[in-house]
Structure formats: structure tokens, C-alpha cells
Structure 1
Amino acid sequence: MVAALGFVTIGLFLALTLTRKVSVLLALVLVPVAAALVGGFGAELGDMAAKGVVKVAPVAVMITFAVLYFSLMIDTGLFDPVIRRVLAWAKGDPMRITVGTAVLTLLVALDGDGASTFLITVSALLPIYRRLGMRPLVLTGVVCLGAGVMNLVPWGGPTARAMAALKLDASDVFVPLLPAMAAGIAWVLAAAYFIGRRERARLLAEGARLPDPRTGVPASGPGTPKADELTAPSAPRDARFWFNLALTVVLVVALVAQAMPLEVLFALAFAVALVVNRPTWKQQQELLERHGANVVLVTTMIFAAGVFTGVLGGTGMITEMSKAIVSVVPDGTGGILPVVTAVTSMPLSLVFTPDAYYYGVMPVVAETSAGLGGDPAAIARAAILGQMTTGFPLSPLTASTFILMGMAKVELGAHQRFIFAWAFGTTLVMTVVALLTGAI
């Protein structure tokens, strides 16, 4: 009964958001609340929702200060040199810009943290897309692909959870997947190329006059971007610029090293940056007023997601759904369990949180595989080929997804429809290579 209620809840949520019947914010709150009432959990509803909100509170705090920090850095022109270099290479060609987006994302995502990846890449690249009239959906989609495949790194959340759940190390889980990961990166770059070509064709069909990609010289005529619109404004690199650059480098290093909780690091970095760049009270208020709307948009989504996951977890829906999925696995199919796990791992990112999947579903599947003569480590490797790796930037169950959506001002449903097939393709390509190399 509880498992069925959970599947209905997830299905209704996805149906409402993908068809745009209601906003994601309303669906995140009202759908699980209604399900809890129908299931007879009304008495515990407040406590479950509150626990979910408390659990995501550190993420919301981190994002609040992170958005403010990078917004301040954008205002001060810190990312202008990056923008100019990308533009110089791309020469105003949407295809090159899209491929450049993938390359930058793959590099930035080495830290294994989706939130910081989205904050940095969208902050740096969104102005380019706006200047050329490219759709923000292309930006979020390509960033999604790059961040997804790089989330396989051992210090990323999914792989770390898989190793902890089955008491394995990186040599058991990650190292055998290196060829598959390399194939996934190649797929992402190829996908970015084709998406970029399609975006270039769309702009030309709409009458846009793009610069010649061979020379960078803009075509003449109406709709042609001006030269100064294709280049970020060049501000003099004074002492504050170098201070901001040093502060950001220190911040990124501290984030990777996990020197402090992420929310504390961003709070401290923002406070220091604010004092240096906006020393007066009036300047500080202007900054908060200018970017406060972005903060509210993202954090409300995160707290709503906390209600969603809190209710589903507190009612036992997630646990019962896990058991129900495992119960339908027929006897004698142990040999194909890794393949089934790999192929289903990415879509299940839309249904299960990483904790629910890696600590709830995966151990049971691994135990089943072992009982049928399979290798539990193969199940772990299969799981990370998609579950909250290629799938996390599309999942409504991860807070960082709403950072990506909020910063680019893109609807979650539109983002999912645009990039789902490409992201699923990443998993399928890596699965094929993992099979060929014996990793699964």
C-alpha cells in the first residue's frame, strides 16, 4: 500500500511538472502533503516536513551566500577575461560556444560538487548566450551533460555513497570505469557539437546575422550583433580584481579540500568580498536589493524539495518502493542484473534521492546479485553510470538542480524535455564500454 502510494506520488509529481500543469514549487509541497493525508499520515505530517526542511537548510544557506558571492564577482568583472577568451576562440559561432561550454564544465566539475559547478559556469557563460540570442536551455543542457559525467569522480557524492554502502574502495568501483568515463566525455563533446550546430541553424533561420566563424567578422545587416556586444566589457585590472581572483581561487581550493562546511566557506568569502568591493552601507544594500530575487527563487525551491523528500522518507514510501522494485527481479537473472542496473540508473534519479538509492536500493540489488553468483562491485559500478551522476542535473530531488534552473531562469520541465535523451545517451554509451571492458 505504502509502495503503491509512493509510486503514485512520484508519477503525479512528474506528470504535473512535465506537463506544466502547476509550478514545480507547488508540486513539491502539495503533492506529498496530499499523499501523506491519503495514506493516513496526517498526524506526523508536520514533523516529517520539518525534518526534511531542516535537512536541506545547510544547502539553502550555502546557496544563499554562493549566489550572492558569485553575483558580486560578476558585477566586479571577475569573469570578463574568461568570457573574452571563450568569445575569441568561438568568434561568435554558437556551435563553438556550445562546445566551449562543455569543455569549461568538464574542467570546473573536477571538484565533484554540482552546486559550485553550476554557479561558476552559468555565471561565466550566460552573458555570452544572451548577447548572441542563444537559448538558456542550451546552456543548462550542455552544462548538465558535462557535470553529469564528471560526477563519477570518487570524491563526488554518488561514487562515495556506492563505496561506503558496499564497503569498497576507489580501485574496486571507479578505476575499472575509467574507459567508460572517457567514452562518456567524448559523447558529451559530440553532443555539444550537434546541439550547437542545431542552435546555429535555428538562429540563422530566425534571421540572425552571425559573425563568420573563420574570421570573427560580423555580417552586415539588421540583427547583426555589434562588435562590442560580442566582447565582454574590459575593465582595468586594479588591485581589487587581483584580490577577487585570489579570494575565489582560495575559496575553490577550500571547497575541494572541504576545509570547512560549504555554507561557512561561502558566508565568510561573501563577507570578505563585500567589505572589499562594496565598503559602504548604501553599496551593500544596493547589491542585496539587486540580487535578492535570485536568492529567494532558488532557496524557496530548495526548502520545498525538503518538504517533498521529508514526507516521502518519513512515511516510508521510499523504503517500500525500493523493496517493491527488488521483489520483481526474477530468479536466474543475476547475470544481467548489472546491465539492468546501469540502464535504469539514470531514469531512477528522477525517483530516488542518492541516499535512498545507494543505501536502500543498491545494497539489496548487490546482495541479490551475489546470491546469484554475481559480483556486488559490478552493481556499484553499474549504479554510478547514471544514478545521480548523469541524472542528477535533471532530478527534482537534488537541490543543485534548482541552482542551475534558477540562475539561467529555465523551467525544470523544459530542461528535462530538452536534454533527457542526450543525458540518457551518456549512460548508454558508458554502459556499452563498461560491458566491453568487463567493468560490469
Structure 2
Amino acid sequence: MLALAGLLTILLVLAAIMTKWLSPFVALAVIPLAAALLLGQSHLAGGFMLQGLEAVAPMGAMFLFAILFFSILSSAGLFRPLVSLIIRATRDDPPRVALGTAILTSIVHLDGAGASTFLIVIPPLVPVYDRLGLDRRMLAAIVAMAAGVGNMLPWGGPALRAATALQVPVMDFFAPLVPVYVVGLLTLLGLSWWIGWRHRRPATASGPAFAPAMGQDEDPVPLDWRYWTNVVMVVAVLGAMLSSLLHPAIAFMLGTIAALTVNLRGAGAQGEALEKHAPAAISMIAILLAAGTFTGILRGTGMLDAMAHAGAGLLPASVAGHLPVLTGLASMPLSLAFDPDSFYFGVLPVLAGVAEASGVPAVDVGRAAVLGQMTTGFPVSPLTPATFLLVGLAGIGLADHQRYAIFYLFALSIVMTIAAVAFGVFPL
């Protein structure tokens, strides 16, 4: 009963969001609450929602202050020289821009943190895409692909969870996946170039091949003490966040205070800046909080755990020997149904036990799972707050992002699964 209720709840939420029948905020908050009421847990639903809110509140605070921080600095002209440099380096060529986006994201995501990657990469690249007239969904999709492949690394959440659940040292777990990871990177670069190529405009006799960059008549930003103070400010905030010296929310809050103080004089100007930039964050914070209540209800009512065990129990014994490759092929879509904790600590141990009983090493199923489950799948899953951070920073809707990016992310997962079989990571 709980498993069916959980499955229907997730399917209804996904359908409501992707068809735009309901806004993400309404769908994430109302549908799971209705499910809890129908299950007779109305007296506990409030507590479950509060637990979910507590889990995502730091993310909401980080998002608010990050938007304010980067918006204030952007208004001060911090990113304009960088935009010019990137456009000159890419020669206004969409494939080069796309390739540069993939490489930059892959480097930044070496820390394994999706939220910080999105915060570092997307704000300075949005003006580049806007100046070239490129679809922001293209930016979000390429960043999602690069972050998804990077999430496979042994210090990323999925690999750590899988190794822990299977009681295998994480480096032993990941070592056979190194060539698969390399194939993922190469496929990412190829797909990014192809996406950029699709956005090229044909050359004409009277003009260049690409749309002229908007805002070329803007006055150049003076590289004075204030500009370089802003640069140092960004480095300090990101350094404090990435080194875990400060929680991201605190780092960005202090950065926002410093940005207001350096670039705007007086309470009136600072208040106007907050009023100008805050609305961009409010709607996404509401969605983040709703996502927290969604996960809180599913976990608290037991629907997630029930789905994990019921799904594994329905597996026919005849396919147990092919579990690794089947898991690899299904791993990316499974990110839309299971959060990482539920899958890796609930579903994976059961699947691994079934495989082991059929003579297939349990670790093979775990390695197959990290080829998509909350790796290539996490940047489109409504079960991860980072997804909403990604689309919020890119300024696009979740449904639009999912429809555009899921094909590419699924393709990445399939290619890496084929590579894993080819390299002998697990059998066909």
C-alpha cells in the first residue's frame, strides 16, 4: 500500500510539473500532503514537513544570499570583462562556447558539490549566452551533463553511498570505473560540441555567421580598486565555502554584506539594491522549501522505504544474472523516483543480494548504479534541491529544463554503461 502510494505520488508530481499542470511549488507541496492525508497520517504530516524544511533551509538561505551577492556584483560590472574575454576566446562560436562551458564545469566540479558548482559556473556564463542569443536551456543542460559525470568521482555522494552500503573501500569500488569516467568525459565534450553546433546560424553575404553580442556599446568597466576588491571578495567567499571554513549560507551572507558596503553608499542605495535583486530569489526559495516538504513527507510516511523494498522484490529471478547492465541502463531514470539515500541504502542492498545469490558480485550492481543514479540523473531530479538551484540560476523553468536535458543525460548514462561492459567492469 505504501509503495503504491509513493509511486503514484511521485508520478503525479512529475506529471504535474512536466506538463505545467501545476507550478513546481504547488505540486511539490500539495500532492504529497494529500497522499499523507489519504494514508491516515494527517496528525504526523506537519512534523514530516517540518523535518523536510529543516533539511533544505540552509540551501534556501544559501540560494538567497548567493543571488544577492552575484547580482550586486554583476550590477557593479564584475563579470563584464570576463564576458568579453570568453567571447573573444570562443570567437562568438556556439560550439566553442558549449565546449568551454563543459570544460569549465568539469574542472569546477572536481570538488563533487553540485550546488557550489552551479553557483560558480552559471552566473558568469549567463551573460555570455544572452549576448550570443543562445538558449539558456543549452547552458543548463551542458552544466548538468558535466556535473553529472563529475558526480561519479569517489568523493561524490553516490560513490560514497554505494561503497558504504556494500561495505567496500571507496577507492577499490571506483578504480575499475576510471576508464568509464574518461569515456563519460569524452562523450560529454562531444555532446556539448554537437549541441553548440546545432545553435550555429548560417553565414550570410552581408553579415557574420553569428548574432552580434548585445550590449557592445556599454562603457568599459574601470579596473580600479573597487573592481579588484570585488574580485578578491569573490575569491574569498568561494574559497571559504569550498574549503569548508564557512557554511555556504554564511559565506554568501557575509559576501553580500561586503558587496553592499563596497559598491553602494548609504542605507537608501543598499536598500534599493536588495529590493531590486531579491525578487529573483524568492520564487526559487519557495520551490526549494516545497521540495523539502515533499521529501520529508515521502520519507516520514515510509513511502520511500516501501518503494525501495517492493521494487526489488518484484524482480524476476531469471534476470538476476543481468542485474548490473539492467541497473546501469535504468540508473539515470531511477533518479526521478528515488533520492540517493533511499536508493543506495534501501534498493541497492536488496538488488546486490539478489545478484550475489545468482553468482554475480554485489559490487557490480553498485558500480552500475553510479553510472546514472544521482550522477547524470541528479541535475534533473525534483528530489534534489540542487536541481532547483540550477534552473533558478539559469532563469528557466524546471519542466523546460527536464524536457531539454533528460535526453542528453540519459544518453551519457547509456554510453557509460556500454563502456563498462566493454571494459569488463561488469558482464552483459
**Same-fold status (TM-score > 0.5):** yes
Q: 269-278 or 63-72, which moves further after superposition?
A: 269-278
Q: Which residue of 2 aligns with 1:215?
A: none
Q: Which residue of 1 aligns with 2:140?
A: 140
Amino acid corresponding to residue 39 of structure 1 in structure 2: L
TM-score (norm 2): 0.93
Distance, in Å, in 1 between the alignment partners of 2:42 and 2:258 is: 46
Q: How does 1:85-96 map to 2 (within 5 A)?
A: 85-96=85-96
Do 2:81 and 2:221's aligned partners in 1 also have CA atoms closer than 8 Å?
A: no
Amino acid corresponding to residue 354 of structure 2 in structure 1: T
Q: Which residue of 1 aligns with 2:59?
A: 59
Q: Which residue of 1 aligns with 2:9?
A: 9
Query: Which of 336, 340, 362 is residue 326 of structure 2 equivalent to?
Result: 340
Do 1:92 and 1:211's aligned partners in 2 also have CA atoms closer than 8 Å?
A: no
Q: How does 1:257-272 map to 2 (within 5 A)?
A: 257-272=243-258
Distance, in Å, in 2 between the alignment partners of 1:198 and 1:390 is: 22
Query: Which of 287, 291, 296 is residue 310 of structure 1 equivalent to?
Result: 296
Distance, in Å, in 2 between the alignment partners of 1:148 and 1:233 is: 38
Q: 1:335 to 1:396 in 2, by over 3 A?
A: same
Q: Which residue of 1 aligns with 2:183?
A: 183
Q: Which residue of 1 aligns with 2:212?
A: 225
Q: Which residue of 1 aligns with 2:345?
A: 359
Query: Which of 376, 380, 393 is residue 394 of structure 1 equivalent to?
Result: 380
Q: How does 1:425-436 map to 2 (within 5 A)?
A: 425-436=411-422
Aligned to 1:258, the other structure's residue is in SS state coil
Q: How does 1:35-434 map to 2 (within 5 A)?
A: 35-201=35-201, 204=202, 211-212=208-209, 225=212, 229=215, 234-434=220-420
Equivalenced residue count is 426
Amino acid corresponding to residue 167 of structure 1 in structure 2: Q
Aligned to 1:329, the other structure's residue is in SS state coil
Aligned to 1:304, the other structure's residue is in SS state helix
Runs in 1 of length 4+ with deviation above 6 angstroms?
207-210
Amino acid corresponding to residue 79 of structure 1 in structure 2: F
Instruction: Note the C-alpha offset of 1:7.
Output: 0.9
Q: CA RMSD in A?
A: 2.2
Amino acid corresponding to residue 26 of structure 1 in structure 2: V
Distance, in Å, in 2 between the alignment partners of 1:327 and 1:55 is: 30
Distance, in Å, in 2 between the alignment partners of 1:346 and 1:293 is: 33
Structure 2 segments unaligned to the other structure (5+ residues): none
Q: 1:37 to 1:62 in 2, by over 3 A?
A: same
Instruction: Note the C-alpha offset of 1:210.
Output: 6.8
Identity percentage of aligned residues: 40
Structure 1 segments unaligned to the other structure (5+ residues): 213-217, 219-223
TM-score (norm 1): 0.91
Distance, in Å, in 1 between the alignment partners of 2:24 and 2:221 is: 39
Do 2:64 and 2:278's aligned partners in 1 also have CA atoms closer than 8 Å?
A: no
Distance, in Å, in 1 between the alignment partners of 2:363 and 2:264 is: 52
Q: 1:321 to 1:87 in 2, by over 3 A?
A: same
Distance, in Å, in 1 between the alignment partners of 2:296 and 2:205 is: 47
Distance, in Å, in 1 between the alignment partners of 2:182 and 2:290 is: 36
Q: 1:274 to 1:15 in 2, by over 3 A?
A: same
